[in-house]
Structure 1
C-alpha cells in the first residue's frame, strides 16, 4: 500500500505505483513544475518516485548498454495472428500530412488522437493499458525537461522556450488521454467519429445500439477508389454474362434480385445483403461468470470486387441487441420498425456522392442466416422435428423419408404464403398453418419476402450438416467391419500430415466418444477439410465400405454447389444428384435423414432464385464475430457490453475509413528474400527471363510472397489453365519466385494431369520438367487458391473441392 505524503492534507492510499503516479499528475501537478521558484516540491516528488520505482533521472543520460532481458518474451508465447491483427495498415500519408504543414497545437492534437485511435482499435487494447502507456509518456517528457534544465548552466531564452513547448505538449497529451469523453471528442473533430445510436425498447432497461446505414455506407463509398472498383466490377461481370449466357457469376442474375431491380430508380443500384446471428460473450469476473447472449445484424455490399469482399473488414455492423429482448413482441416490433425504416430510407433516398454529382441508390438482395434464424425472421415455425419444417417447400417431417424420385413437394410462393398469413391474422394468430406462424419481422422492408429473400446456407447445411454425418457413418462402418479400431481412427486423424494450405483447417483427432454420439468436433472449415480429404487419409479401406457411394454422390454435389461461377446447364444434373443422394440416405441411413439432408435437395432451385450459394454463405459473417469476442474479452466491460462493442466498432471504422485499409488491388508483399546473381540462375530460367531481365539488374530470390492475401511459396500448386471441352484443370508447381527491380516474376513447372481418380476424388499428376513463366493473376482468376499435393501409393494427387469452368 502506498500513501501520499506530498501534502499534509492529502494522505491518499494506492495499491500500485501506476495509480499513485496518476494521482500525482492529477492532484500535485504544481510540485513537478521544473520552473517553479521553490524546488522543494520537485525534490520531494523526485525522492518519492525514486523510492517507489527504484530508478533515478540520472540513469537516463547513462551511456551504458541496457543488458536487461525482456521477461515478457519468456512469459508470453508467440501468438498466431488473427485475420484482424494480420492485415497491415499504412499510416505514412497521415504522418506526412502532419509534418508537411505548419505543426501547431491543432496538428499535434490530431496526430496524437490518431495515435491513440490506432493504438486502441487496431490492436484492440483496453483503455486502462492505453492510459498506463500515456502516463509513462508524460513522465518521459517531464524527465526530458528536467534533464534539459540540469544540463543548461544558464537559463537562456531558447532553452526556456524549448521546455515550455515540451510542457505544452505534455498538457495536450494529458488532456486528450484524460478520459473517454475527451478522446471521443477529438476523434469526432479530427476523424469523423460517429457514435452508435441508442434505441429504447419496451422498458427502460431494454435497449439496442445501431449504426444508421446511410451514415456508414456513405463513409465507405466516399472512398473514390473503392466506388470506382465497385462500378468496374459490375461492368466486368455484365460483360462476362453477355459473352456467355450459360454463366451464373453474380447474384444480380437471380430471380429475386431481378424483380427488385425492376423499379426505374434501381436500374443502376447497388445490392445490399443483410445477415444476423447470435454470439455469446462471457463475463470472466465474478463467481457466476455471467454470459451475455447478443444478436448482431450485419450488412455487406454484394457488388464489391472479390478481393475486397473476401476481407472481413468489408462487412459492416448495423445493429447490436440482447437476444432476450427479441423474445418480447413489443420490444422486437419497436426495433424492427426502426431498422426497416432505416433500410427503406436508404433504398428510396440513396446517398449523395460529391465526385459523381449524383445519387447512388441501393436495393435489398437477400437476408442470410442459419436455418433457425431464417425461419424466425420469416415468420415460420422454429422447430425442425415436426410439421412443415422447410421454408422452401411444403414437405412435412413425416414425409421426409419418401424418396424424391417418387414424389415432389410443392414449393412455397409469394401468393400461397400471403394467403396463409392473412388466414392466420384473421384468426388472431393462434395457430401455425403449414409451418407459418405469422408476419415476417421484415414484412415492411422493400424487396423482402419470406419465400424469396432467405437463401439456404452451405456452411450450416453441408459443412456442419451432411459432411460430418457421412464422415461419422463411414468410420462407424469401418469399426463394425473391423477394418479399423477406435484407436486406429484417432491415430490416423492425429498423425496425418496435412499440406501447408490445408493445415490451417486441420481438424482435431476423432475419438471414440465422437463416433458414439455421431458428433465430429471442430469448426465448419475443419469438418469440411476432413470430409474433403477422407479418401486420402483412409485410402487403404475405402474399397471395403458399402457407404462410400454416399460420399461419392455428396462429394460431387459439393463440387457444384461450392463453385463460382456455376453454369445453368449444370443445374438439371445437380438436381438429379440431390435426389439420388436423398434416396441413398433413405435406403442406407434412414435414421440419419435429418432436415439438413432435405435442405440439400433445395439447392438446384435455390440457385435460380437466390444466386450462387457460395456468395450467400454465412462463413465470412461468422468470422466477423471474432472481432466482437476479442473486444469483449479485452475490454472487461460487462455493465453495458452493447454500448462498448458498438462504440469500439465505430472507432475502428473511422480508423479504417481514414487509412483506407481495404485492399482494392493486388498488393505483393515479400516475406523473405536473398540476393542472387544472374549467373547463378539455371540456363532454363535465364532463357525464360532473357527478354525481361538484364544481367545488370538486381535480382532477389524470394522464398514466399503474399499476393491477394494468399501466401505463395516455392512448391505451391496453382491451376494454370483449363484444357479441352471437358475443362480439365492443368496445374503448375511454383519453382522459384524472383524479384527484379520492382517486378515480381514467378517461374513454375507444368504438371501433367494423368487422370481423375473417382475413389480418391483427386487428380493424379506427374512432373514434366518443363518450366514456364506464369501470370499469377490469370491463374487466380480461374481458381483463387493455392493447393497441396498428397502422395498415395507412390503417386501424387491434388484434391480440389469445386468444379472449375472458364469465365
Structure 2
C-alpha cells in the first residue's frame, strides 16, 4: 500500500514521505548536496524524466518548470500510521513545514542560468570539502558541539581567510545570541509553569525541562564557544584533538633567532589519503594514464613515461609509485618599492601529488605547504642546507618505506619526480646567480638581451 500525494527521496535507501515538494527539495539540498555520483531524475511531469548529475542542474530545472510546486503553501500534516500488506511495516511520521525561500528570478535569468550549467561537466570534489554529517541523538553532546564549532571556525579561517579579530567578533555575537535565547526561554516558560502549578498537578512527563538544567546547558555551550576562540593556543589544541592537526616543526638555523618551519610531507599525504575518494581518484587516474601510454607509447603523459624514469631508483623497480613534485617560490609579505622591496620575502616550498586528475591539480586545495623560511636567511649556505635537509630526509623515507594507511589497510609507494619554480627560484636552488645582467636571459639556451 502506498501513500498518495506524497514525495519520496530517490537518494535515500529508506525514504520517508514528504508532505510537500518544498520539504523534499530542501531535504535534497541540505542532506545530499555535495555527495559524489548523484543522479536525480525529475518525475514531476509527463514530459519530464531527465536525469541530472548535480544539484545545480536539478535546481535550475525545478525553478524553471515546476516553480508552482515550490510556492504551494504547506501545512502541518500527519502521515497516518498504516500497515503495509507486503512487509507489515508501520510508518508513523509527522511532516513539518519548512519555509522555503522564494526565488524571484525572471524567466530570462532562469533561462540564462540553465544554459550556463552543464551537468556533465559540473565537478564537485567532496573529498577536499568534507562536511560534518548529521549524527544520531545518542552522540549529541557537548564534545560533539565543540568539535562542530571548531570545524565552523576552521572554515571561516581557512576557507574565507577571516582574521582572528573577525572570528572573535563572530564568537561574541553568537554568544550574545545564545544568551538572548536563554533569557527568552526563561521568560516564556515561567508563566506557563506558574499557571500549571496553580491549576492541576500534572503527571510526570519527559517533556518537562527544569530551568536549572536549561541554565546548565546554555552555560556549558557558552564556555565551549569562548574556549574555542580564547587565544590561538587553545584553538590549535582543539584542532589537534578533533582534526589531527600537526603544528609546523621549527628548524633552528645558524643565527640564534633565525628559524624556518617545516610541515612533514608524510603527515600531509596521510591525512589526504585517509579519504577513500582521494585514493579511488588517484588510482583511477593512474590506470587511465597508463592505459593511454600503453595504447600509444610515443606519447609522454607524465614523468614516469620519460627516459629519466628508467634510471630512477624507485620508478625503475615500481613504475606505479605515486609521483610527488615540489614547487618553490618567493612571496612578498609587504609591497614596498625601491631598495627595500626584498626585506620581507619568504621562500615557500609546496608539494603536490602528480597523479591527481588535472581538474583537481588545478585547484589550490590540492597543493600542500612543505616549508617556509625568510629568504634572507637562505642566502647563507649552511642555513640553506639545514632547511632542505629535513625535506630530503622525508622524501627519501617515503620513497624507501612507502606509507601505510591503516583505515584502508593499504601500502602506497611514492617517487619524487621534479622540483619546479620560476627562473629566479631555479637559479637559487641550483646555486646560480639570481640576477641576469651578464648579457644572457637564460643559462640553458644562452638567449641574449640583444636577441629579444
Tell me the SS of whatever aligns to 1:96: coil
Cα distance change on mapping 1:92 and 1:352 into 2, 3 Å: closer
1:41 corresponding residue in structure 2 = none
In 1, Cα distance between the equivalents of 2:130 and 2:251?
A: 39
CA RMSD between the two structures? 3.0
- 1:105 has 2:157 as partner: no
- 1:131 has 2:179 as partner: no
Specify every segment of 5 or more residues in structure 2 that has no aligned partner in the other structure, as ranges. 1-122, 198-207
Larger Rg over CA atoms:
1
In 2, Cα distance between the equivalents of 1:251 and 1:184?
A: 38
- 1:149 has 2:201 as partner: no
TM-score (norm 1): 0.36
1:126 Cα deviation (Å)?
Answer: 0.8
In 1, Cα distance between the equivalents of 2:428 and 2:297?
A: 36
In 2, Cα distance between the equivalents of 1:250 and 1:92?
A: 29
1:94 corresponding residue in structure 2 = 132
In 1, Cα distance between the equivalents of 2:379 and 2:130?
A: 48
Specify every segment of 5 or more residues in structure 1 that has no aligned partner in the other structure, as ranges. 1-85, 401-590, 595-807
Cα distance change on mapping 1:343 and 1:290 into 2, 3 Å: closer
- 1:272 has 2:324 as partner: yes
1:140 corresponding residue in structure 2 = 177
1:314 Cα deviation (Å)?
Answer: 1.0
Residues 740-798 of structure 1: per-residue CA shift (max 9 Å, x gap): xxxxxxxxxxxxxxxxxxxxxxxxxxxxxxxxxxxxxxxxxxxxxxxxxxxxxxxxxxx
1:197 Cα deviation (Å)?
Answer: 1.0
Q: Is the 8 A contact 2:330 2:425 kept in 1?
A: no
1:593 corresponding residue in structure 2 = 451
1:175 Cα deviation (Å)?
Answer: 2.0
1:167 Cα deviation (Å)?
Answer: 2.1
1:177 corresponding residue in structure 2 = 229
1:96 Cα deviation (Å)?
Answer: 0.7
Within the candidate set 215, 237, 243, 2:289 is matched to 237
Within the candidate set 189, 196, 209, 1:158 is matched to 209
In 1, Cα distance between the equivalents of 2:429 and 2:143?
A: 49
Cα distance change on mapping 1:283 and 1:166 into 2, 3 Å: farther
- 1:299 has 2:354 as partner: no
- 1:259 has 2:296 as partner: no
1:321 Cα deviation (Å)?
Answer: 0.6
Residues 354-412 of structure 1: per-residue CA shift (max 9 Å, x gap): 3554422211111111223212212334443438875546x5x7xx6xxxxxxxxxxxx
In 2, Cα distance between the equivalents of 1:280 and 1:266?
A: 40
Number of residue-to-residue matches in the alignment: 311
Cα distance change on mapping 1:350 and 1:107 into 2, 3 Å: same
Q: Is the 8 A contact 1:256 1:365 kept in 2?
A: no
Tell me the SS of whatever aligns to 1:274: strand
1:499-648 map, 5 Å: 592-594=450-452
1:351 Cα deviation (Å)?
Answer: 0.8
2:240 corresponding residue in structure 1 = 188
Q: Is the 8 A contact 1:383 1:389 kept in 2?
A: no
Tell me the SS of whatever aligns to 2:351: strand
1:345 Cα deviation (Å)?
Answer: 1.7
In 1, Cα distance between the equivalents of 2:249 and 2:395?
A: 15
Tell me the SS of whatever aligns to 1:267: coil
Cα distance change on mapping 1:243 and 1:325 into 2, 3 Å: same
Within the candidate set 325, 331, 348, 2:377 is matched to 325
Tell me the SS of whatever aligns to 2:348: strand
Q: Is the 8 A contact 1:260 1:364 kept in 2?
A: no
Tell me the SS of whatever aligns to 2:217: helix
Q: Is the 8 A contact 2:315 2:415 kept in 1?
A: no
In 1, Cα distance between the equivalents of 2:310 and 2:133?
A: 46
In 2, Cα distance between the equivalents of 1:113 and 1:290?
A: 37
Tell me the SS of whatever aligns to 1:313: helix
Cα distance change on mapping 1:192 and 1:283 into 2, 3 Å: farther
In 2, Cα distance between the equivalents of 1:111 and 1:181?
A: 18
In 2, Cα distance between the equivalents of 1:205 and 1:197?
A: 15
Within the candidate set 242, 248, 251, 2:300 is matched to 248
Residues 406-428 of structure 1: per-residue CA shift (max 9 Å, x gap): xxxxxxxxxxxxxxxxxxxxxxx
In 2, Cα distance between the equivalents of 1:249 and 1:382?
A: 32
Tell me the SS of whatever aligns to 2:242: helix
The structure with higher relative contact order (CA 8 Å, sep 6+) is: 1
Tell me the SS of whatever aligns to 1:158: coil
2:398 corresponding residue in structure 1 = 346
1:377 corresponding residue in structure 2 = 429
Q: Is the 8 A contact 1:261 1:267 kept in 2?
A: no
Q: Is the 8 A contact 1:282 1:290 kept in 2?
A: no
In 2, Cα distance between the equivalents of 1:382 and 1:224?
A: 43
Cα distance change on mapping 1:381 and 1:283 into 2, 3 Å: closer
Cα distance change on mapping 1:243 and 1:283 into 2, 3 Å: closer
Cα distance change on mapping 1:290 and 1:148 into 2, 3 Å: farther
TM-score (norm 2): 0.62
Q: Is the 8 A contact 1:272 1:299 kept in 2?
A: yes
2:360 corresponding residue in structure 1 = 308
Cα distance change on mapping 1:382 and 1:91 into 2, 3 Å: closer
In 2, Cα distance between the equivalents of 1:163 and 1:92?
A: 33
In 1, Cα distance between the equivalents of 2:442 and 2:403?
A: 38
Cα distance change on mapping 1:362 and 1:294 into 2, 3 Å: same
